[in-house]
Amino acid sequence: MTAELIRQVKEIQQKLVNYDMRGEDWEEKQEVIRKLEDVTSYLKDALAKGIEF
Q: What is the pLDDT of residues 1-53, one digit of tens each?
A: 899 999 999 999 999 999 999 999 999 999 999 999 999 999 999 999 999 98
Residue 24: φ, ψ to 5°: -60, -35
In whole angstroms, give the CA distance from residue 44 to residue 40. Answer: 6
Reported pTM: 0.85
CA distances from 47 to 2, 26, 41, 51 (A): 7, 31, 10, 5
